[in-house]
Structure 1
Amino acid sequence: MKFSDYPYQRPDLNTVQDNLNTLTSKLEAAINYEEALKTVESYFKTIDAIDTQMQLVFIRHSMDTSNKFYNDEQAFVDKTLPLIESFTVRFTNSLLKSPFKERLEKRFGKLLFEKARLSQKTFDDKIISDLQLENKYTTEYIKLRSSAKIPFDNQIFTLAQIAPYTTHQDQKVRMHASKAVSKWFKDNEQAFDTIYDNLVKTRHEIATKLGYDNFIELAYDRLRRVDYDAKDVAGYRKQILEKIVPYVNNLMMRRKKRLGLKKLMSYDLGLNFLSGNPTPKGDRKWQVEQAIKMYDALSPETSKFFRFMVDKELMDLDSRANKEGGGYCTYIPDHQSPFIFANFNGTSGDVDVLTHEAGHAFQVYMSKNLIPEYRWPGYEAAEIHSMSMEFLAWPYIHYFFKEDTDKYKFSHLSSGLEFLPYGALVDHFQHEVYANPKMTPKMRKATWKKLESMYQPWKVYDKKDPVSEGLFWYRQGHIFQDPFYYIDYTLAQVLAFDFWKHNQKDPKTTWQRYLSLCKMGGQYSFVKLLNQAKLPNPFKEGTVEKILDPVKIYLDNIDDTNF
């Protein structure tokens, strides 16, 4: 059965409630361990069945946000998910109180129960209406962004479609394309401000109703960050600010020299080389064919996995009108199917996103037989698989880039370093916003500008460009949709560099380490997973500098003026 044939049926809320309440009662009435175990396993199957339908809505709505049927279904999901969470929290509460908890812990591991305890902290029936509002505002943001119609060069573009022009070799084309994008965000400034203001106030209200001082603490608990806190993250950001920002500033000076510019402007940052950025040498169909070759060569496991994805048509990669922006990977439990979503536009980003999301998809594919709570690790750990997969593709990357291969490798490695300050900026901004929920939209923009000058001092805006007013963060969907899920990418990027280093020397052993990591799924919290996988801890002072030194040496030994 192909993805398009996966049947969707709106879950009946009364039936869901009856089923989950019945399971809760059975768990409470269990007279022995065997009965309790059987009930918990039935609960997992029930959750999978519900999640299957929810994921089908999420995917199909993102594929076409103008589709009325799935618009209505997404609205239903936005209202229904908090109600379902109410039923599941009652079950996990009974799980925590079960007289057979000790034996169930031995069977499923302690992390399941740590997550259950956090679910008790982060949910209460009194916040259901607030959660519904949060979902509603998030969907409004998605629809607003995906509705973008940007006039440029006598054509109309989506945000994804205009991106290649912002990396054009002709500076005037880059400048005008960048300003066209900025104008669209400026024209919709009030809408973005209203949506985000509503989200911040709603999230703060939810936090205070649950007994938290602010949303920051709640967000960390929602993300199941059980073995590090905001102080650890602040210390990690400090490492980036002190050790990475100065080096990236040097990379930017090298770029300015490569491009032959007297001044590097914000609209120049999309272009790496005067000869043009590296690009894949074929269309979407051709790139998928190269990916099949690559994953066939990488390992038997990746070969089986990727051919499954292609045969079942579990990828939507083309950019088109009314399609949600960006890329993601999700999982459809009852079909044991990962799904990859992207917006190809002919740039090197096509290969980046394909290998990145394939890393997520491969991990969950290898963890498909674990219980639902363990199929995915936490966000920060999950991004290790995706970002490391980008580097594990290096021995085969010439399939895609041919004569541009060396150019791509330099660009890919340097852009990974350049991303770290931006990722820290996005995280720091959110900490400031939610620590001060009464900020006005004007104050938020001023805060962004201040932090941007700290983390990206090389970024110089044309004063006539609306984005200079502190609007850049509008385009970062995570800030609206997944608060505080962004520093995760930087943590994973640092650890992916560790995989890159080892893969340069010993690809076979590195692959086995990676495969082992994927099979662990989400059975461990982040720091414990690092220990299990023998990976360094980025929160420890000096770790970031130590891991990134080999990357700097590699880049410093390349004569990029030849590209």
Structure 2
Amino acid sequence: MKFEEYPLRVLSLKRVEKKLGEAILNLQNSKTPKDALATIRKLSRYADDLSTDMTIISIRYSLDTENKIYQKAQNKTDEISPLIANYFNQWSKVLVASPFRKELEEKLGKYYFEMIESSLKSFDEKIVPELIQENKLDSEYSKILGSAQIDFKGEVLNLSQIGKYAIDKDRKTRHDATAAIDKWFGENEAEIARIYDELVHLRDQMAKKLGFKNFVELGYLRLGRLDYDAKMVENYRKQIAETAVPLSQKLYKRQAKRLGMKMSDMATYDFNLSFLSGNPKPVGESKDLIATATKMYDDMSKETGEFFHFMLDNHLLDLEARKGKAPGGYMTYMPRYKAPFIFSNFNGTEGDVNVLTHEVGHAFQGYLSKDIKIPEYRSPTYEACEIHSMSMEFFAWPYMDGFFGKDADKYLFSHLEGAVQFLPYGITIDEFQHWVYENPNATHVERCAKFSEIEKRYTPHKRYVDSPTFEKGGTWMRQSHVFGSPFYYIDYTLAQVVAMQFFVEMRKNKEKAWKKYVKLCKFGGKEPFVGLLQKNKLRNPFEDGNVKKVLDPVAKVLASFDDSKM
């Protein structure tokens, strides 16, 4: 069944209420553990259907944010999803209080109930109005960014499309594109700042209603972080600051040398260009990249070949940028059809290839875990999900000749260099968000000033030229996670540190590393993050010294490249 044949079903709150009411009654009236388990499994199947309907609406809306039918369906979902969450919350209260809890734990696992208890702490009927408003504000932000129209070189471009000009070989083009992006954010700054301010106050209000000091602890619970806390993350950021920041600065100096410039003369847009001869550029058009990816996954393993053909045959990739399409890229999953979906905005840059490895890594894990019966165990928490995607980027390394031709070495070097350089940016976004929610009454000006201060500490090479909005600390307004998924950004850095372990292992024994990776994907989300690492024999980034142990061999690989000839 092709994606376009999947029906668009607008949610009915009455139907949800009826289904959940019946399930709660059946669970309360269960005479045996077997009866209770049957009710749980029946509701899980219904939850899969509900999740599928909501996901299809979300995908269709992101594919065409200007479509009135999709807008209406998305608005309805935003409005009633917190009410649906409230019904599931009532179900959860009955479930954890079941007289058959012990027997159910033996069947479903202790972690299953830990997840439910965590969700009960992070949700209550009294915060439903705030959750409805939170959804609306997030959609409002997405719509503003999706509707961006920037006049540039005789074209009208969205934020994804103008990106290729910001990395152009010509310095003036890079400057002008970056200035145009900055200008657009400057023109829309007041509205974006208003949306974020409302989101921060809403989240702070919810946290206090639920008895938390501020949104930080609630934010962690909403992300299912059950085996680490903000203190552990703070210590992890310290490790990144001590190891990745100095290594990144060395790499930026190498970059300036490659470009024939003094480090002090480099503007932020100059760092967008990795090589004087131009950034590595994929060979061919989108259809050629898809053909190359198909060959790669056919060769990589039997599982990847079957999976990628399933995606292609069922039209589960939408990759081209176009007017009205939301910016960015993502993978999502529709359990009714056991089908992942990949969304992106190709723009003719190396980022297009990254989509065909990164987002495909997410989708591959979803595909391998599709037969796990308990929905809560199919996918792990966000930071663990990113291990699948970032590791796949590294497993794709041997195939880069097909994507980049003579530019393959340039890509490999810039990809690994970028993986290291991303870490300081990732902790910048994370530290900023902690400060924001610890100081919810700060003004927009104060937020920008704080971001600028953190940015200068972790990425001191940045020098903004003719970009006044970003120079004063407004870069965070570009980062959609800050708006829609608070605290979901450090996850990428944690996953990167773990994915680098696969990179190091595959250089020693590719077959062994691949088997370990497939095992991790099939493991799904049967443990929280730290537990998942332990079960799969991977280093825990929170433990002192582990970040250095991972980055040291990566630094040696980077040193082995002769980038002066690229």
Corresponding residue for 1:557?
560
Q: Equivalents in 1 of 2:531, 2:120: separation in Å? A: 23
Corresponding residue for 1:444?
447
The one-letter code matched in structure 2 to 1:383 is: E
Cα deviation, residue 463, structure 1: 5.4
Corresponding residue for 2:393?
390
Aligned to 2:544, the other structure's residue is in SS state: coil
Contact 1:57 1:70 in 2 (8 A): yes
Aligned runs of 1:372-411 on 2, under 5 Å?
372-411=375-414
The one-letter code matched in structure 2 to 1:470 is: G
Corresponding residue for 1:356?
358
- CA 1:504–1:348 in structure 2 vs 1: closer, same or farther (change >3 Å)? same
Q: Equivalents in 2 of 1:547, 1:193: separation in Å? A: 38
Q: Equivalents in 1 of 2:468, 2:8: separation in Å? A: 45
Q: Equivalents in 1 of 2:543, 2:508: separation in Å? A: 25
Deviations 1:234-279 (A, max 9, x none): 0000011111111111111111110011311101111000001111
Cα deviation, residue 460, structure 1: 0.8
- TM-score by length of structure 2 reads 0.99
Deviations 1:456-496 (A, max 9, x none): 00111115543212111111000001000000000000111
Q: Equivalents in 1 of 2:467, 2:451: separation in Å? A: 18
The one-letter code matched in structure 1 to 2:177 is: A
Deviations 1:25-51 (A, max 9, x none): 111110001110100001101101111
Q: Equivalents in 2 of 1:138, 1:159: separation in Å? A: 18
Q: Equivalents in 2 of 1:178, 1:355: separation in Å? A: 27
The one-letter code matched in structure 1 to 2:508 is: K
Contact 2:219 2:486 in 1 (8 A): yes
- 2:285 pairs with 273, 283, 291, which one? 283
Corresponding residue for 2:153?
153
Matched, 1:134 2:129: no
Corresponding residue for 2:490?
487
Corresponding residue for 1:252?
252
Q: Equivalents in 1 of 2:356, 2:63: separation in Å? A: 17
The one-letter code matched in structure 1 to 2:41 is: E
Aligned to 1:485, the other structure's residue is in SS state: coil
Contact 2:179 2:466 in 1 (8 A): no
Contact 1:377 1:525 in 2 (8 A): yes
Q: Equivalents in 2 of 1:341, 1:543: separation in Å? A: 34
Cα deviation, residue 11, structure 1: 2.4
Contact 1:517 1:533 in 2 (8 A): yes
Contact 2:241 2:424 in 1 (8 A): yes
Structure 2 portions without partners, runs of 5+? none
Corresponding residue for 2:183?
183
Q: Equivalents in 1 of 2:468, 2:211: separation in Å? A: 43
Cα deviation, residue 124, structure 1: 0.8
The one-letter code matched in structure 1 to 2:114 is: E
The one-letter code matched in structure 2 to 1:367 is: S
Q: Equivalents in 1 of 2:49, 2:154: separation in Å? A: 48
Corresponding residue for 1:125?
125
Greater CA deviation, 430-439 or 108-117? 108-117
Matched, 1:545 2:565: no
Greater CA deviation, 428-437 or 316-325? 316-325
Q: Equivalents in 2 of 1:360, 1:95: separation in Å? A: 31
Corresponding residue for 1:64?
64
Q: Equivalents in 2 of 1:353, 1:249: separation in Å? A: 27
Matched, 1:367 2:369: yes
Corresponding residue for 2:335?
333
Q: Equivalents in 1 of 2:65, 2:472: separation in Å? A: 29
Cα deviation, residue 449, structure 1: 0.4
Q: Equivalents in 1 of 2:65, 2:439: separation in Å? A: 33
Contact 1:342 1:354 in 2 (8 A): no
Corresponding residue for 2:418?
415
Contact 2:469 2:475 in 1 (8 A): no
Q: Equivalents in 1 of 2:102, 2:313: separation in Å? A: 43
Deviations 1:82-112 (A, max 9, x none): 0010111111111101111112111111111
Corresponding residue for 1:173?
173
Query: What is the alpha-carbon root mean square deviation over aligned residues?
Result: 0.8
Contact 1:225 1:526 in 2 (8 A): yes
- TM-score by length of structure 1 reads 0.99
Aligned to 1:151, the other structure's residue is in SS state: strand
Contact 2:11 2:77 in 1 (8 A): no
Runs of 4+ in 1 over 2 A off after TM superposition: 463-466
Q: Equivalents in 1 of 2:410, 2:436: separation in Å? A: 39
Aligned to 2:160, the other structure's residue is in SS state: helix
Corresponding residue for 2:480?
477
Contact 1:461 1:468 in 2 (8 A): yes
Q: Equivalents in 1 of 2:172, 2:8: separation in Å? A: 48
